[in-house]
Structure 1
């Protein structure tokens, strides 16, 4: 899907999939074994050919996968300790090869995590100066003293990626593709920023000079103050965007398709002065645009990207997306503001885009429907030809009928769950990222019901 070429094309056939982060799967000792395989089996039985996840990195205490401790590492909490892979002694040759292949991110990540273990109450800019600033003599002395801890962290990562690749193979054997997510920004308190300070707009002590967010939009009426450090795109350009290319390279080995969250940041980012708590104090700062994306596709001609183009999107963002033939997103819940040209309305969908009933940032479709005022709810009942008693299925069926090549439905919608199953509420910090799948809540014959709908919508594989 690069500019001037279409070597990779998942959008030449109609597909459907489920949005579910692995942390939602049930499992007392990790989920990347039997629990994840059971979910893949459910997808295959239902005729679903795509499993979309959120970012897989290790999280801070807030559990947000969009504020990970690393842009490359896997979350060790997902490792299934009961799986045969976890009980097999580490093959020394394979472990050594893994360390060599991934040294560029694994070494600083394992150092970063080992230092955090010694200073658990501090962010990295509060560490002793020698470790904060990565002075070679201080870092070398620490690594000698913490050699066992560093080796353990590296071994965890090796085990995570072995389990993930085993899961990926299992999914592919059953016709299921894995769809990942890259947040455009990274957490300030992360191995990425600590080890690559020159890539970001920081002061001499490592503190952000400006931070990321968004102005008011339909996700948040006050805007959002994310707090992520912003990139020094001029430096990254002089460096050939190498940091970003390494990031894309590691993720393309994990996934068959990759969504770039907040794609509009490549066109312009909402920069908020670090000393200002209010998103409205920010301004749009130009991003790297086509120069960056050209570099990406020169390195990886068949890079399988999807652009998250929700929120405040100007024509320059869509021009950039279309220049590189990147699929975008529509969300049915966003289609009912009364405007005839709303891109989320079914009649305005495009074939090479993705359609969702809702995303991980939305209420469940049933919760959304119940929260509407009477006038909007009546309009939606007429639009979907329902009295509302069978919600959310009219919306799910509409997504399947859409002309868009790929239709994605959160698992909570397929289970018919209300707002208590919402996964994330943007702009809040409580009760997010904690919902768990309970198979007992799935209606009997759910996979069979989905398969019948996909057959009618011509979204079944091989037919």
Structure 2
């Protein structure tokens, strides 16, 4: 009996693992933004040396309004900014003199990328399309369920001077068959360009994923619960969203006021017409999740609580303060996803206002929720995030992309909160970041994810995003070398807290 108990305990420990949160755009590199080139492969090597199991990233879709990865032109497409020019050169799609001059690593300047990238990618696309390969044709066929409409959507946007969907001519905005057919014929060249760019992206992405998996690293992807109001998703299937029948939104998404945002968060995303989704047996969501699980090893679903109930704000409101809660699909949605994918491979972002109903839905899903160590000591956070409350089936973070770095938290939190954290973790203030990391790794949570900036003890300058603000977000890039000494330190703590993957433990 004792041997069986010890065996079960050992199995539980072997399930423990950890990883690092690092957006693709934050990688170093010579082209003004992180790419899927040699720096991404080098980061995989670093993760392997550090005995990590997971690399968590942010959404990889083409960024729209505010440069946010959570406001993408498509729920399925990849970000053209992540395409590496050096790889295109190696494949013969670019000549050496067509590759832009290298620039020092610094914050992402999306304005420069917006002007520069299409010029270079057009040259590569022209060469691909001049002698389309079997691989390219197969890609277009396999991805036609989203690629055709996305490419046409982007071509029309370019023709309309990048105007948002809401400002398109009525016949195009509402997809009148004659207008769509004419646009498809008129913009055939541009449509092919956007398809070629997606081929480049996914070819490079698949190569990186294969390399990471070969090194024992699993990629944790991230999908926003909502699509963008300026997206091919809304344009293609407006009946799946809360609109007036003319593609104009009637209610939009957000979060209510809380201690972190006095006016709440007004995201502005389309809200789903959940009865319509249910009538179609959640076919659109099933397809989206099948796609996500084909390109990631694990999928984090942002704002998971929105499936139980969601905060609806009348379209046109200036803040989120005038919204109200409405019922979501709840268990019907969970059951549909289970039927399609089984019950594993998903992380539920369950932060924020959690009702008993949300907790019941999360328990029924079987998915691990998230725990934020910073919240455990933040007097503004009403939830209890102290480590002793964590279940095994959870993912613990020092902080996420929406939090200031832990070192930044130490410097900006109230003295009382910092004092409490130091008392609880038995450390001096200057050692608080390392102590929080160790508390995460020591916790019972099956998975621990530490942002790269926290391992480097960087301050607020390395913050990725400040919710409800615009400007200076999604720009942080790693300009600090990832040394062998740091990898050894991370590996040592990973082993100390029994989170080394079995293959790396020998």
> TM-score range, shorter-chain basis?
over 0.9
Deviates more, 1:26-35 or 1:405-414: 26-35
- Over residues 330-369 of structure 1, what are the superposed CA-to-partner deviations in whole Å (9 max), with x where a residue is unaligned? 0000002569995411111111100000000000000001
Change (3 A) 1:113 1:243: same
Which residue does the alignment assign to 1:379? 420
- Which 4+ residue blocks in structure 1 deviate beyond 6 angstroms? 9-12, 338-341
Which residue does the alignment assign to 1:39? 43
Q: What is the distance in 2 between the residues matched to 1:187 and 1:340? A: 29
Match of 2:500 among 457, 460, 463: 460
Specify every segment of 5 or more residues in structure 1 that has no aligned partner in the other structure, as ranges: 1-8
Match of 2:407 among 366, 379, 382: 366
Alignment of 1:268-417 (within 5 A): 268-302=309-343, 304-337=345-378, 342-417=383-458
Please state if 1:48 is matched with 2:89.
no
Q: What is the distance in 1 between the residues matched to 2:407 and 2:305? A: 29
Which residue does the alignment assign to 1:208? 249
Secondary structure, counterpart of 1:279 in structure 2: coil
- Over residues 230-270 of structure 1, what are the superposed CA-to-partner deviations in whole Å (9 max), with x where a residue is unaligned? 00011111111111111111111111111110011100010
Which residue does the alignment assign to 1:172? 213
Alignment of 1:5-404 (within 5 A): 13-29=15-31, 31-83=35-87, 87-88=91-92, 92-302=133-343, 304-337=345-378, 342-404=383-445
Which residue does the alignment assign to 1:4? none
Give the alignment's TM-score, normalised by structure 2: 0.86
Change (3 A) 1:342 1:228: closer
Decide whether the 8 Å contact of 2:371 with 2:396 is kept in 1.
Answer: yes
Shift of 1:159: 1.3
Q: What is the distance in 2 between the residues matched to 1:386 and 1:236? A: 51
Decide whether the 8 Å contact of 2:422 with 2:432 is kept in 1.
Answer: no
Which residue does the alignment assign to 1:445? 485
Task: Please provide the CA RMSD for this pair.
Answer: 2.0
Decide whether the 8 Å contact of 1:211 with 1:229 is kept in 2.
Answer: yes
Change (3 A) 1:457 1:236: same
Match of 2:475 among 396, 410, 434: 434
- Over residues 50-78 of structure 1, what are the superposed CA-to-partner deviations in whole Å (9 max), with x where a residue is unaligned? 00011110001521000001000000110
Secondary structure, counterpart of 2:67 in structure 1: coil
Which residue does the alignment assign to 1:6? none
Decide whether the 8 Å contact of 1:415 with 1:443 is kept in 2.
Answer: no
Q: What is the distance in 1 between the residues matched to 2:142 and 2:395? A: 34
Q: What is the distance in 2 between the residues matched to 1:72 and 1:28? A: 27
Secondary structure, counterpart of 1:392 in structure 2: helix
Change (3 A) 1:152 1:49: same
Q: What is the distance in 1 between the residues matched to 2:154 and 2:223? A: 21
Shift of 1:222: 2.4
Report the count of equivalent residues.
454
Specify every segment of 5 or more residues in structure 2 that has no aligned partner in the other structure, as ranges: 1-10, 94-127
Q: What is the distance in 1 between the residues matched to 2:12 and 2:228? A: 31
Change (3 A) 1:262 1:340: closer
Decide whether the 8 Å contact of 1:119 with 1:127 is kept in 2.
Answer: yes
Between Structure 1 and Structure 2, the one with more helix by share is: 2
Secondary structure, counterpart of 1:180 in structure 2: strand
Shift of 1:395: 0.7
Shift of 1:289: 0.6
Q: What is the distance in 2 between the residues matched to 1:10 and 1:292? A: 30
Q: What is the distance in 2 between the residues matched to 1:402 and 1:341? A: 21
